[in-house]
Chain A
Amino acid sequence: MAAVGYDGALIVSAAQSVYEKRPSHPLVRHIGEAVRKALAEAGLESHEVDGLALSSFQLAPDNVTTIAEQLGLQLTWAFQGAFGGASGVVGVLRAARAIAHGEANVVVCAAADAFTVAAHVALMDQFNSGMRDYLAPYGFGGTNGLFALVQQRHMFEFGTTRPQLGRLAITQRQNAILNPNALLRTPLVLEDYLNARLIAEPIRLFDCVLPCAGGDAVVLVSKEMAHRRGMPGVSILAGGERHNFHPDEIVHLRTGLSDFASDMFATAGIQRDAVDFVELYDDYPIMETIQIEDLGFCAKGQGGAFIEATDISRSGSLPINTGGGQLSAGQAGASGGMIGIYEAVGQLLGRCGERQLRSPEVGVVTGFGMVGYVRGLSSAAMVLARR
C-alpha cells in the first residue's frame, strides 16, 4: 500500500551548492550553501526552520543534530537518511508527513557529499559488512562491477542493447548542456558512448557517474504557511518506500518500486500518460531502464525498447532527467538522491531557465540505493504536482 498523508505540506523551493569536480570546500559548506540558497528562494530566515532532514555518506563523525548545531537551527523534528540514493525521496516524504502531523512547520531537506573519485572508490570497500567481507576480497570493481552483472543479465534475458541504454546518457547530456551547475557539458554522441573506456563490461565510462562535491536542498512548509505568505508550491500527491524487498533476487532485474508503483499512481489519481516528466535515479542507465519498467511505463523487460521508441528529450512525450541527472551533472554522494527532487521542483515552479519544460504539471521522482550484498536495498518514489 502506498503511504498517504502528504496533503498538509508544500515544497516551496529548491537549490544547489556550486558542484565541483574536486572538492575545495569542507562538506558543511556544501550543506550550508544549499540550505541558505533554498531558504532565500522561499523568503525564509534560518530561525523559522524547525525541521531538518539530512543525508550524507561522509557526515561521520557529525550527524543531523551536530549539523543543526553548526548551522544554528533549533529543531522540533530531525531525520537522517540511511538509504543511500533513496534517502532524498524518503526524507521529503517523511518531512511532509511530519508537517501534516504538526511536528514541524518549516523543514529543510538537504543532502551533500564532497567526493573525489579516489574517496568514492575507497568508500565502496568499506560501505557495509556484506560488501567489505564478501565482495571486496575478489576485486569486484565496486558498484560498477555489481551493476555490470545486472546489465549483463537484463541484456541476456530481455535483449536490451547498449544503443538503447546510450539514448539515456546522450539525451541527459543534451539537458546538462543547458544546466549551468552540471559538470559534464560537452556533447556526447552514440559512437562516444559505445566505444568509451571499458570499466566493468558491459559497463563503460559513460554508463558511470562522476563522483563530485555538491549539495542539494529543498524546503517544505505547511500549506497554511504557504498560503499566508503567498508562496507558490509543489504538492506531493503520493509516494512510497521499500527496503530489502525481493531478497533472493541478488542480481535484481526489478526494484522495490515494482511493489508500490501502481498503488502510488492510484493514490495520486494520475494515469501514467498524464506524467509530464520523470526524474529517475540514474546511477547507471540500466537502473533507469529497470525503474521505467517498475513504474509501469512499459512491461518488465521492455525498458530498452521503450527508451528506443519514446522521445525522452525535453520536447518529447516523456522527458527524462531534464537537468542531466547524475550521469552528466555529477554524483555528489547522497546528493544524487536529491538532484532529481531539485530538478523536479524547479521544473514545476518554472525556475529552470534555458532547460525549462513548457508548463509541466506532474512529475515523478525516484530514489534508489544502499547497495548491500550485491543488491540495491532501498527504493523510493513520489508523484509531484504543481497545484
Chain B
Amino acid sequence: MTSTVVAPVPRVNDANRPFYEAAAAGRFILQRCARCARWIYYPRVFCPYCLSPDLEWKPASGRGQIHSYAIVHHPAHDYFNDKVPILLAAVRLVEGPIMVASVKAQIDELTIDAPVHVVFDLKVDELTIPRFALGDG
C-alpha cells in the first residue's frame, strides 16, 4: 500500500507573506510595531500590545538561545512519521519574542541556553520555513 501524505503547510496571507518571501531569499524578518516599537512573532494583522495596524517588517538577527526543548518521537501528523525524532525548541530571539521551531542538531547537543541561528533549509510545498541550527551562525 502506498500513501501520499501531504505535508502541513502554512496558509499564506497578507499578514505573513513578507515573512515567507524574505525566507525564500535567505533573509529573516520580524514585524515591529510602528506605534509601540515592540517586536512581534508570530505574524499578526494588529499589534498584540497596542492594537495598532501599523506593523513594519524589519530585518532581524535570526539569533537566539534555547529557552526550552523537546524531542518529538510521536508526530501529530503522518507526514513526519519517517522524520522522527524531531528536535523542537522554544527559541528566545535576540529581539525578544519566543519562536517555536525545529532545530538541526544531535539530540545530546540540545541544552537550555544554547545559542542558535536561523537556517532556511526547510522547504514545504515551495515555501521556505525558517527554523534553527545550533551555534552563533
Contact = CB atoms under 8 A, between A and B. Distances in A.
Contact of B11 (A124, A125, A129, A203): A129
B60 interface: no
Q: How large is the interface on B (under 10, 10 to 19, 20 to 34, 35 or more residues)?
A: 35 or more
Contacts of B69: 149, 152
Contacts of A200: 70-74, 88
B101 interface: yes
Given A133-B42, A156-B112, A251 B77 contact: no
Contact of A136 (B8, B74, B112): B8
A138 B90 contact: no
B112 A199 contact: no
Given A149-B70, A250-B100, A137 B8 contact: yes
Interface of A: 121, 124-125, 129-130, 132-142, 144-146, 148-150, 152-153, 156, 197-203, 247-248, 250-251, 373-374
Interface of B: 7-11, 16, 42, 48, 67-77, 79-80, 83-84, 86, 88-90, 97-98, 100-102, 112, 122, 124, 129, 131
A93 to B, nearest CB: 27
A174 B76 CA distance: 29
Contact of A139 (B68, B77, B97, B112): B77
A145 B76 contact: yes
A151 to B, nearest CB: 8
Contacts of A145: 70, 72, 76, 86, 88
B51 to A, nearest CB: 13
B72 A134 contact: no
B3 to A, nearest CB: 14
Contact of A137 (B9, B89, B97): B9
A300 to B, nearest CB: 17
Nearest to B86: A139
Nearest to B102: A138
Contacts of A134: 10, 42, 100
Contacts of B10: 132-134, 137
A373 B89 CA distance: 14
Contacts of B9: 137
Closest 5 CB pairs of A and B: A142-B76, A148-B70, A139-B80, A141-B72, A136-B8
Nearest to B78: A121
A130 B40 CA distance: 13
